[in-house]
């Protein structure tokens, strides 16, 4: 009997990668620690399909990790059906692009949509162990753009998103990937963060001022020069703070660092490293300028290992789409 409720046969989920541009307060004297800024980007992302099945199974890259998220969400939601998940694109893991959060939230949101359950992005993030330090990935999943999170208190819960602005359409972001290296991750990340001394209050205050009084107003005014100056200064300070955990260097990958140095000299804005790297980034004022800078970067890249891409700031979050019939790839 048809009860009039649309019951999807399959779900497709597409989630953009993100760049984490820096932490705000690694001191914590005011009751919150970390805080950060980040941006959703095009060209890199996670794509998957979910449909009902007799037994749960996952195929494609990162299948083992995805299966863990799938099984946990099935238990949490009390779902008796099995599910088939096909991963077609996955952001490189441990590269500073937020791959773990994207994958976990894409599966959670896809399952909820498949079974006509209300979305609960923040609740699912907590249940799946995402957002332990930064709320950037969770915030960008929902809305994209450029976001600021307000840091975490010493109790369970996610850092609140306190600002979200669109990225100007003309701006481009050069993303420099080093497939030969990975950033610090897993238990090592927690141990490393705990081993670093608290940041001095003066530096934390300076970083917050750079974001609130320079980066955000410049972004609102489409002023890339002042935006880039703020991001670069923030990155220098954070790079020096984290250098003891990165072999004494500001950047995890020497090859990426060399390209960023060339881009900085060639006129790029706001060069830096996303999270623990090794991925680097730089901003350009237009598509033509980005193409010019990418040509210079590729010419000066060491060896053949780096992947240099031109991306846009993506002013939308995840796309979770319901289908009345199996997707073409499933037929």
What are the Cα distances from residue 255, in Å, to 58, 181, 321?
35, 10, 39
Could you tell me which residues come within 8 angstroms of residue 235 by beta carbon, excluding any fewer than 6 positions away?
21, 22, 250, 270, 271, 272, 273
Q: Measuring CA to CA, how many Å separate 178 from each of 95, 219, 296?
A: 8, 28, 17
pTM: 0.92
Nearest CA to 58 among 93, 75, 76, 83? 83
- Per-residue confidence (pLDDT) for residue 245, from 0 to 100: 85
Which residue ranges form the domains of the chain, and what is each CATH number? 1-166+314-331 (3.30.230.10), 168-311 (3.30.70.890)
pLDDT for 206 equals: 97
Quote the pLDDT of residue 184: 76
Low-confidence stretches of the chain (pLDDT < 70) are 1-5, 303-304, 326-331
User: CA-CA distance, 119 to 108, in Å (whole number)?
Assistant: 8
Q: Are 13 and 3 in contact (CB under 8 A)?
A: no
H helix or E strand, kind and range, residue 110? helix 99-114
The CA distance from 108 to 131, in Å, is 15
Region label for 174, one of left (φ > 0), alpha (ψ between -120 and 50) or beta (otherwise): beta
pLDDT, residue 3, reads: 57
What pLDDT does residue 331 have?
A: 43
User: Rounded CA gap, 276 and 135, in Å?
Assistant: 16
Residues in the chain, total:
331
Q: How far is CA 76 from CA 7, 49, 59, 119, in A?
A: 20, 20, 22, 13
Three-state DSSP class for residue 31: coil
């Amino acid at each position: 009997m048809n009860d009039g409720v649309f019951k999807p046969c399959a779900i497709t989920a597409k989630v953009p990668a993100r760049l984490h541009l820096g932490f705000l307060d690694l001191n914590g004297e005011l009751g919150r620690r970390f805080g950060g800024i980040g941006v959703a980007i095009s060209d890199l992302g996670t794509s998957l399909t979910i449909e009902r099945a007799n037994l749960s199974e996952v195929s494609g890259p990162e299948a083992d990790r995805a299966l863990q998220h799938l099984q946990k969400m099935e238990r949490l939601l009390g779902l008796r059906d099995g599910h088939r998940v096909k991963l077609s694109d996955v952001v490189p893991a441990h590269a500073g692009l937020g791959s773990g959060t994207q994958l976990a939230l894409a599966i959670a949101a896809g399952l909820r949509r498949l079974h006509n359950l209300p979305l609960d992005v923040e609740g699912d993030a907590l249940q799946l162990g995402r957002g332990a330090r930064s709320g950037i990935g969770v915030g960008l999943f929902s809305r994209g753009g450029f976001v600021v999170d307000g840091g975490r208190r010493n109790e369970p819960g996610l850092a609140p998103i306190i600002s979200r602005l669109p990225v100007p359409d003309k701006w481009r972001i050069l993303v420099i990937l080093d497939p030969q290296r990975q950033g610090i991750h897993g238990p090592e990340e927690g141990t490393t963060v705990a081993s670093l001394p608290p940041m001095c209050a003066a530096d934390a205050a300076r970083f917050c001022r750079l974001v609130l009084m320079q980066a955000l107003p410049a972004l609102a005014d489409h002023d890339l020069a002042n935006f880039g100056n703020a991001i670069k200064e923030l990155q220098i300070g954070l790079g020096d703070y984290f250098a003891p955990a990165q072999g004494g260097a500001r950047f995890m990958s020497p090859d990426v660092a060399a390209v960023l140095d060339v881009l900085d000299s060639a006129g790029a804005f706001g060069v830096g490293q996303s999270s623990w790297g090794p991925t680097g980034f730089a901003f350009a004022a237009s598509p033509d300028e980005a193409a010019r800078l990418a040509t210079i970067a590729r010419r000066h890249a060491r060896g053949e290992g780096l992947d240099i891409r031109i991306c846009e700031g993506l002013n939308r979050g995840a796309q979770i789409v319901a289908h009345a019939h199996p997707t073409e790839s499933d037929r």
